[in-house]
Homo-oligomer: A and B are copies of this chain.
Amino acid sequence: MDTLEAIHSRRSIRKYTNDPVSEDAVRDLLAAAMSAPSAGNEQPWQFVVVNDRGVLTEVARINPFAGMAKEAPLAMLICGDTSLEKYPGFWVQDCSAATQNLLLAAHAKGLGAVWTGIHPNRDRVEGFRRLFKLPESVIPLALVVVGHPAQTLPSEDRYRRERVHLNRW
């Protein structure tokens, strides 16, 4: 799929078929995520691939906005690892760029995905920390739920001229 088309036609997909996501696709999505730019190329990310039904049900309980995980074949937890930072404080941006790459790669491959937020919501951070027994330095940023889409959503034109300023505010 063409890059600009992927960027413009990607939507948050929350309904999935029962088909599993292949291991090759999982690897492609992770490789796309890890190709993101990062501050000083620090690559401060860690990923947990979740395909266990019990764990998918549990994450839906921890994050009310991730209810679709109960019915999804797959989710990916994107975490920042502050022990890997060269430029402290930039891990959120680095891992968000990785997450966006992951979403675009999923869409380009015909999968559907949705970004559900964790950090900086304290309850969700603690819930995911406990469930996955994350080390102290590892902060869960987002859970991306993935599957073969069982819904199609039209592109949305979100361009807003009033958000663009020239050379000064």
Contact = CB atoms under 8 A, between A and B. Distances in A.
Contact of A100 (B51, B96, B142, B169): B96
A146 interface: no
B141 A7 contact: no
- State the number of copies, please: 2
A2 B3 CA distance: 5
A99 interface: yes
B158 A93 contact: no
A141 B93 contact: yes
Given A3-B1, A115-B37, A117-B87, A164 B49 contact: yes
Interface residues of A, number: 68
A31 B159 contact: yes
Q: Which of A1, A28, A36 has the most CB of B within 10 A?
A: A36
Given A3-B6, A35-B8, A167 B48 contact: yes
Q: Which of A35, A133, A156 has the most CB of B within 10 A?
A: A35
Interface of A: 1-4, 6-8, 10, 12, 27-28, 30-32, 34-37, 39, 43, 45-52, 55, 87, 89-90, 92-93, 96-97, 99-101, 103-105, 107-109, 115, 117, 120-121, 132-135, 138, 141-142, 156-160, 163-169
